[in-house]
Structure 1
């Protein structure tokens, strides 16, 4: 995953298109923000008008005039209240919608990323990016344009109004703002860095907690609870240190702003008093100045308070785009066609494969033709590329060189959905989703009827044990199927493939983790599943593939032996040695 630095402006430009769907809501929100600003800016003018009239022409300050001015300002406050309600309600909902859109885009992108991405990325980090990293986007998306628009409007309007009273006093006051801006930029950079470190650390804690809790049985079996607690405490205290750094910069930022508050007030009082002594401004002008400075400082304080939220939002957006920038390596080629009416003829045409992240070559110049309906077994030492070879068929990876063809069609010219819809995979490590037995089998074909699901379970030899469970097909299997045995989980995964009914089948060491009784039951189901399908079987238990049509011995040098069980045993080569060693192990 990329971890490059992004500029604030660059992130804002990339984030801005998310407002496009809600541009009318945003426009109305900013219009309401302008209304609230106008209402606030009018008040000092009213005070100046009444004070000036009271000091210079008391006879004209009548009850009727005061009531009219009061009524006018009351109308403004009602408008201000309505505008503020819209901003607080609809504006926040807009922010929540943008957060939702981003989360959907992120999850959709994660679904498209290849195996190689997940090989090098912790799930806990991804969970942090898709959940907590985007929590602050709601506030950011709503308040960012709003707060900066209001603050900018107040500064501009205040400048022109005050300049109309006295340009020199106005320039003295506004000359302080660039210094405040410089300090703000300095502390903002520091805070941004600290917030990003904080989010990364939270991701590490999530990954560590997930790892520990999912492996809780291993932890307890080795009595290593204290080790796990120490690992967690180390990460947790690391997070605390990052928080300390974060709050140090926040304190510096807020203290600096507070100092400039006092400087601006005293500048207005001292300079204003001197100007009043010289007769350049009136007392009513000085009161207006003080009120406008108060308005300015209130606006600056709001920006200061928003700065923490701003930096949280920016760091979340930055981590969002780091994932979105992860390249989609496996995708449909332009003009990709649907794979239909599959016979199951598969060819590997001079196929080589190298893992790009570490430049490890696992397959070299593989030439292989499998006829429809043939059962091919892959055997050989670990790391020889058996699983990788099979992963090239559904395009979990793409061949570095050469071609993989199904019915004489290069798999890279086919749509991935149609390709993978025609291939069933049964793996050694069965993954069951948190839910019921019924839901897990139905995952093979979500539109299947209940009768079809029960039929698939019967074909997989799973119906009998399912009916003995507490709630039958509605039994909750627990996270990752923890409530079921290995053999039961495997038969449910086989039922899933029976339901899918694909013409091509990949069995990746589907029985190697089972006990003998479970293996016997599962093997019977697999033999029934493989009947009439082009099947690739990866096996360490060599007795399970004696009846395969073709047995391939795959090593670092490629396919070194090929034939059926009888022929390979007669050659007394590598297969003979592997089988004899396995038979001796069983005998012992």
Structure 2
């Protein structure tokens, strides 16, 4: 029960619904046990003793208890579902909140499909046990206890014979649980891998089709699908092996009841009505005991689901916020790195090594280097997406860890190389970071990002709805909307991570011209592969293998005849070659 104890904060606030539901479960169970008693009275008193005057009373009483049972059944079902749905609402909310708080380190190792499986299938599996399985378990226990009490009242010897089968059933159920729980956990993991395969294929369908890899993807999906099928078959085999044993023990018990009960009737120690009632009561015991297999099945699924949910809820938040973190109304944008060393995963090579630089407010810092040289890592430490292993990142001469994370990021505008747009209107996408912005401010930001003209050509202008991930727009159009989104929050620090890589040279020139106005008074970091995007920077940092190997202005670096000069020559030669080809 350790898993359920750890998750109790999500269902205990709604325990009143569960307890009220249990009250009506007791009523329903008590009325259920009345049926054999009414049957016994009918046989022994009405039929055998010919007291036919009791029939109207028995019939009326039977109808009354049926009505009461129907009402109680409805209420207990409704309250049970209310308990499960309310608990899962709180649980799903907690999971989603936790996912928002986890740093990039967690997502670097997580798979989208598996996370989706946990937030849907595993949450629903846990809900089903809370809403129905747990209540059913208590109903079974109540039914067995009440039925046994009546049986002992009728005949102690016959009741003891009936109870003889229970230890055997308990052993079978225990062994069943020991085998079925690992099997269900394996099913959940396999389903997560299957969902991941589907998610990756749908997300990358353009790549799949452009490389004609449909058959390859079908084969990979078939492998995962086959694995999921085999896990389910294995679980079914476990169930198929244990259920016959449960049924055999139950049948042996019924035969023993018939033989010994018949002997007691012949000997005059038990009435016919009580013997017949005994058969009904035994079914109320053996049936629920065999149903324990189903309950164990549900419990094992819920436990496996709960364990997978706890893996998210208990995941370490490696980017921690101090209790009394600073919440500044504004920041100047002074960024300083002091001997910063950083690696993404412990044991991997360092992404940054002893990085030091100072970016005063309003300065433009260019970052250039080969892929994997550490350019993006610098900006991700600045925004506290990750924490450095050594050194300090200072914002306005205070450690970035002193700031409230949300408050800090509100002053940083981030435009990524691959711009993500939501499946909503263009207006909402631009205003995502500043939802209270007026339409005039949104249009002004779009104009600065050179996006206004193509937006006005869309069917509904700024109210045009976009497809998933901005489908329907070109890469350059998506980047310009992302730039407008960053401009609209009026950041003190602006980070452009290869933000103009998907636009043509003419559009890049117009965006750079607009950004020159936007960057005034802001500390700006420009990550680019094109030197043309960095020429105007106040300082350019050239990175290789996580270290700064050169720094200076564009002209200074060209005079150094170092790595920057080589990059410049390569790009210039490529440009010259293209021009010669055109000629």
The SS at the match of 2:384 is coil
The SS at the match of 1:336 is coil
Q: Give how far 1:277 is off.
A: 4.1
- In 2, are the aligned partners of 1:187 and 1:252 still within 8 Å (CA)? no
What residue number does 1:109 align with? 98
What residue number does 1:47 align with? 39
What residue number does 2:495 align with? 506
Among candidates 132, 143, 146, match of residue 135 of structure 2: 146
Mapped partners of 1:487, 1:274: distance in 2: 91
What residue number does 2:387 align with? 398
What residue number does 1:324 align with? 313
1:218 and 2:207 are equivalent in the alignment: yes
For residues 45-444 of structure 1, the aligned pairs below 5 Å read: 45-54=37-46, 58=49, 61-63=51-53, 65-444=54-433
Partner deviation per Cα, 1:52-100 (whole Å, 9 max, x = no partner): 33577x26x351x332233233222221111100122232132122222
Mapped partners of 1:16, 1:370: distance in 2: 49
- In 2, are the aligned partners of 1:147 and 1:303 still within 8 Å (CA)? no
1:463 and 2:452 are equivalent in the alignment: yes
What residue number does 2:539 align with? 550
What residue number does 2:581 align with? none
Mapped partners of 2:43, 2:3: distance in 1: 48
Partner deviation per Cα, 1:258-306 (whole Å, 9 max, x = no partner): 2233122112112222333444433333222112102223333544444
Mapped partners of 2:249, 2:511: distance in 1: 76
1:29 and 2:21 are equivalent in the alignment: yes
Q: Give how far 1:352 is off.
A: 1.4
- In 2, are the aligned partners of 1:487 and 1:522 still within 8 Å (CA)? no
Q: Give how far 1:475 is off.
A: 1.8
Mapped partners of 1:260, 1:209: distance in 2: 45
Mapped partners of 2:218, 2:74: distance in 1: 47
Mapped partners of 1:517, 1:487: distance in 2: 12
Among candidates 440, 445, 453, match of residue 442 of structure 2: 453
Partner deviation per Cα, 1:490-518 (whole Å, 9 max, x = no partner): 10000101111101011111123433334
Does 296-305 or 164-173 show the bigger shift? 296-305
Q: Give how far 1:135 is off.
A: 2.2
Partner deviation per Cα, 1:306-327 (whole Å, 9 max, x = no partner): 4443333332222211221211
Mapped partners of 1:72, 1:343: distance in 2: 82
- In 1, are the aligned partners of 2:341 and 2:390 still within 8 Å (CA)? yes
1:20 and 2:12 are equivalent in the alignment: yes
Mapped partners of 1:67, 1:533: distance in 2: 91
The SS at the match of 1:372 is coil
- In 2, are the aligned partners of 1:19 and 1:26 still within 8 Å (CA)? no
TM-score, length basis structure 2: 0.94
Mapped partners of 1:18, 1:366: distance in 2: 44
Mapped partners of 1:477, 1:54: distance in 2: 77
Mapped partners of 1:557, 1:391: distance in 2: 14
- In 2, are the aligned partners of 1:428 and 1:509 still within 8 Å (CA)? yes
Partner deviation per Cα, 1:330-378 (whole Å, 9 max, x = no partner): 1321111202321111111222112234432122222221111000111
Does 133-142 or 449-458 show the bigger shift? 133-142
Structural RMSD (CA):
2.0
- In 2, are the aligned partners of 1:494 and 1:526 still within 8 Å (CA)? no
1:386 to 1:113, Cα distance in 2 relative to 1, 3 A? same
Q: Give how far 1:464 is off.
A: 0.6
Mapped partners of 1:287, 1:384: distance in 2: 84
Gaps of 5+ in 2: 578-583
1:71 to 1:538, Cα distance in 2 relative to 1, 3 A? same
Mapped partners of 1:489, 1:370: distance in 2: 29
What residue number does 1:6 align with? none
Gaps of 5+ in 1: 1-8
The SS at the match of 2:394 is strand
Q: Give how far 1:215 is off.
A: 1.5
The SS at the match of 1:506 is strand
1:528 and 2:520 are equivalent in the alignment: no
- In 1, are the aligned partners of 2:496 and 2:525 still within 8 Å (CA)? yes
The SS at the match of 1:461 is coil
Mapped partners of 1:81, 1:166: distance in 2: 31
The SS at the match of 2:557 is helix
The SS at the match of 1:124 is helix
Q: Give the count of matched residue pairs.
A: 577
Does 527-536 or 539-548 show the bigger shift? 527-536
Partner deviation per Cα, 1:355-402 (whole Å, 9 max, x = no partner): 234432122222221111000111223322111111111100011112
1:313 to 1:143, Cα distance in 2 relative to 1, 3 A? same
Does 443-452 or 33-42 show the bigger shift? 443-452
Mapped partners of 2:488, 2:563: distance in 1: 38
Mapped partners of 2:301, 2:259: distance in 1: 39
The SS at the match of 2:529 is coil
